[in-house]
Structure 1
Amino acid sequence: MTRPPSDTELAGLPAWLYPAGFWVAVVLLALGVLLPGYAFLGVVCVALVPVLAAVWVALGAWRRDRRLSVAALAALGGLAVVFVVKGFLPGG
């Protein structure tokens, strides 16, 4: 028995959202090459794309797929732990 192809929108994240965030980040990084003062904005955007995707999935899929939402929240929690522990390290 074959399984039907999975639809990414059923997993919680619309198919257009992550590629759109990626291309916005690429444009901002290219702008950072031309205008070095804006390089930080491109780097922040690259870092925020997966975080915003996880927040979208955690909130949007809560009623349809609770396990997926819990996994997204666990990923965000792990990221928070990294930032907290980084604060305790010298030079962090």
Structure 2
Amino acid sequence: MEYQYPMDFEWSTEEIVDVIHFFEAVEKAYESKIQKEELMKAYRRFKEIVPGKADEKNYTDEFQKSSGYSAYQVIKAAKNAEDGAWIQLKK
């Protein structure tokens, strides 16, 4: 894909890597599949870096505009899935 991940350049290198990992997990839910636990672990780390709802929405909306992938829909599916489930969405 030809797009950039949304980020804040005030984040540390580790935080940037972790945010990118979260967005890659969202991509994986659309492009193949991902285990709920792996996705939720990446999401929890993302929320440590981006704790505010408004900031989360800004970053995930920016990601959706550039990629077409909805982090909201992926997380919603994961929260509704049973433990151990695979998350897979269609674009």
For the pair shown, the structure with the greater C-alpha radius of gyration is 1
Normalising to structure 2: TM-score of the pair? 0.31
Normalising to structure 1: TM-score of the pair? 0.31
Higher RCO (CA-CA < 8 Å; seq separation 6+): 2
- Between Structure 1 and Structure 2, the one with more helix by share is 1
- Between Structure 1 and Structure 2, the one with more strand by share is 2
